[in-house]
A and B are shown apart, each in its own frame.
Chain A
Amino acid sequence: MRLTEVFATHTFRTAAIACAAFGATTLLLFGFIYWQTAWLETRRIDVFLSHEYLVLSHEDPATMLADVNTRYNSDPHRQSFAALFAADGTPIAGGLAARPAGLPNDGAPHEAAAERRGEHGTTRERMRAVAGRLPNGQELLVGRSEEDLAKLRALVLRALGLGLLPALAASLGIGLFASHRTIARVREVNQTIGSIMQGHLYERLPTAGTEDVLDQLADSVNVMLAEIERLLAEVKGVGDNIAHDLRTPLTRLRMRLESGLTRAASQSELNAVVGGAIADLDQSLAIITALLRIGELEADRRQAAFAPVALGALLAEAADLYAPLAEQRGIQLHLAAGADQTVLGDRGLLFEAVVNLLDNAVKFAPQAGWVTLALLVEAGGPVIRVADTGAGIAPEEREAALKRFYRADPSRHIAGSGLGLSLVAAILRMHGFGLRMSDGAYGFAVDILCHGKGDA
């Protein structure tokens, strides 16, 4: 991993900006503390010096000389000192080698630098000093070394060095580490995406388990991948099923045409062959049409066109449509729509779903059996029940019954593409409605739950 790459990451930049801001604030704070302390200390020294000068300058010359020599030179810390100069500037007493150049003798405190005599020769020191001319022409100076201020400055700088720099270095380091980690994770994610793009749809983006933004993003992408995988599997399943279900009629068609070509002796025999061939083709086309319709319903989940649908009227219409067929087959068709219920949906599609179920029920109910079309009200909402006294679908086969092309075994001899239930499921999914199958006194029932809880 190149360093420039690390510097380019958002994480690192954020860390660097935070470091800079932290450093600047700390410097400002320390600077302020130093400045305030130095100012106060200077003021304190100035007041002290002015007082000392006032006291000394009013002493008689002999006492003054003695005081200058004894008291001020005896300070073990060599902080305070005093000096007396002759009118021409020659030192008379005190610890200074010469009068500080440029120090005004106005009796007020000033900043100065002077050569100071000590046990190891003279040293140049910065000081605060008050100088003034005495009535006898001599010059009196009292001063105090700025060593305290220098110590304070050193302390502040040391604190900065010990505190701020390691803190900055540490945060930059953490930034570098985090960026490094981010880059490593992004790289891992990129590799996974590359692999997914090559067709390994079962792979999932790695997560660190930290629930951070990257994890959240990866989780969303993973959910999307799962859905894509499911859809692709479904499409593949459908493709396989199309191939499978078309193979039978197409094979029959081919054989029919082939034998017609070689064996048909007369025009009427050939006509029969062609008629059969057209019927086979129609069956294949019906399968394709039904599949396209399911695909269309699943791709198009528009709900903008939904409007209130009166279910009672819809069931009555469906019963009206199927009444003659049921009568012809000797099946009793009961309509129990009771009080009307209204749901939001696409009337045409809901009707198609009900008709598909009814079509199945009428087809599967035995002679002299009965079919019930009922509108029930459950806690969740309205339920449309289509029940018949036919064989029904075994519980373990019910889920598979919803899958395209699946036909419960006892019904294999009954014509139909077997797509009815899948179409119903697709319509219900589009509406967010559920589907339930059950057995009871009413026979085998398929319920459309107009409130979303079910198996579909």
Chain B
Amino acid sequence: MHPTPSAPATSVELRRATQRRRILLIEDDSALARNVASELDHRGYAASHVPDGPSAFEAMHAAQYDLLIMDRMLPGLDGIALLKRLRAENIMVPVLVLSALGAVDDRVSGLKAGGDDYLIKPFALDELFARVEALLRRPRETRETVLQAGDLSLDLIDRTVTRSGRPIDLLPREFKLLEYLVRRPNQVITRAMLFEDVWNYTFVPHTNLVDVHIGKLRRKIDAPGETPLIESVVGSGFILRAPD
């Protein structure tokens, strides 16, 4: 069940292959699993897939993974039980739970069992990639009280923002939104992620609320002539560009 990637031919490819982050996909629908795995491969991850809980355990003991993507309802051992067993064995790999169960309670129970994120089927591939990347990177949890993104700086104590020394007056909600983005620079953040993480809502409003909020934030942080900090990514969401 462990498809070996084709042997790397050159040293460059070899280096890339060793750097590729390994993702284990646990999904019993083989057509969906093949599609998702091949899309992940295409995006530069090394994805393998297994159909059920027991074979997931085997795979986990045979190799190291950077991320697990698991279906909530699996034959044999269901996703939640598998997750609890992993956490009980102190395997702390980040886990993204996929589920056809969309109820708030299902989501809560999935996250309580040790899931790091919860994505409801059907999902857009861009949403999946954004969340995979977010889980692999983990946000900047620094002890610094001032966050920097290029020429923008956020003072977490005073709740003040400056860009190139110019003070920017933000409403509390705008500060919260900006802080979330600055902690995750150069990373695609989807509207749903913002809605879930910044506003703590699990439902998605019909209107383009998030875009309007981002629009207001942009107008405040980008002075005329300055490089826009927040870019839109068509079909996905937003990305805050900042030199590493």
Q: How far is the CA of A362 from the CA of B207 in the complex (A)?
A: 10
A292 at the interface (CB under 8 A from B): yes
Q: How far is the CA of A292 from the CA of B99 in the complex (A)?
A: 14
A355 at the interface (CB under 8 A from B): yes
Decide: A355 and B205 in contact? CB cutoff 8 A.
Answer: yes
The interface residues of chain A lying within 8 Å CB-to-CB of B124 are: 282
Q: B96: shortest Cβ distance to chain A, in Å?
A: 19
The interface residues of chain B lying within 8 Å CB-to-CB of A289 are: 102, 120
Closest partner residue, chain B, to A302 (CB atom): B105
Decide: B122 and A416 in contact? CB cutoff 8 A.
Answer: no
Closest partner residue, chain A, to B205 (CB atom): A359
Decide: A359 and B122 in contact? CB cutoff 8 A.
Answer: no
Closest partner residue, chain B, to A423 (CB atom): B203
Q: How far is the CA of A70 from the CA of B172 in the complex (A)?
A: 136
B199 at the interface (CB under 8 A from A): yes
Interface readout for B137-178 with A: 1 if CB under 8 Å, 0 if not?
000000000000000000000000000000000000100000
**Stretch of A84-92, A138-146, A322-330, A437-445 with 4 or more beta carbons under 8 angstroms from chain B:** A322-330
B57 at the interface (CB under 8 A from A): no
Q: How far is the CA of A293 from the CA of B104 in the complex (A)?
A: 9
Contact residues of B with A, CB < 8 Å? 102-104, 120, 122, 124, 173, 199, 201-203, 205-209, 212-213, 215-216
Known: A285-B122, A289-B102, A348-B104. A321 touches B209 (CB 8 A): yes
Known: A292-B102, A320-B173. A325 touches B209 (CB 8 A): yes
Decide: B203 and A325 in contact? CB cutoff 8 A.
Answer: no
How many residues from A make CB contacts under 8 Å with B?
A: 25
Contact of B207 among A285, A296, A348, A363 (CB under 8 A): A363
A22 at the interface (CB under 8 A from B): no
Closest partner residue, chain B, to A346 (CB atom): B104
Decide: B212 and A324 in contact? CB cutoff 8 A.
Answer: yes
Give the dominant DSSP class at B's interface: loop
Closest partner residue, chain A, to B200 (CB atom): A348
Q: How far is the CA of A394 from the CA of B70 in the complex (A)?
A: 49
Q: A412: shortest Cβ distance to chain B, in Å?
A: 15
Q: A130: shortest Cβ distance to chain B, in Å?
A: 101
Closest partner residue, chain B, to A363 (CB atom): B207
The interface residues of chain A lying within 8 Å CB-to-CB of B206 are: 359, 415-417, 420
Q: A364: shortest Cβ distance to chain B, in Å?
A: 12
Q: How far is the CA of A420 from the CA of B206 in the complex (A)?
A: 9
Closest partner residue, chain B, to A292 (CB atom): B102
Since A322-B209, A325-B209 are in contact, a sample of 15 more A-B pairs with Cβ atoms closer than 8 Å, ordered by chain A residue number, is A289-B120, A296-B102, A296-B103, A300-B103, A320-B173, A321-B209, A324-B209, A324-B213, A325-B212, A327-B216, A348-B104, A352-B201, A359-B205, A359-B207, A416-B206
Closest partner residue, chain B, to A362 (CB atom): B207
Closest partner residue, chain A, to B195 (CB atom): A321
Closest partner residue, chain A, to B203 (CB atom): A352
Known: A351-B201, A362-B207. A324 touches B102 (CB 8 A): no
Known: A289-B102, A293-B102, A328-B212. A321 touches B207 (CB 8 A): no
Q: Which A303-337 residues have C-beta < 8 A from chain B? A: 320-322, 324-325, 327-328
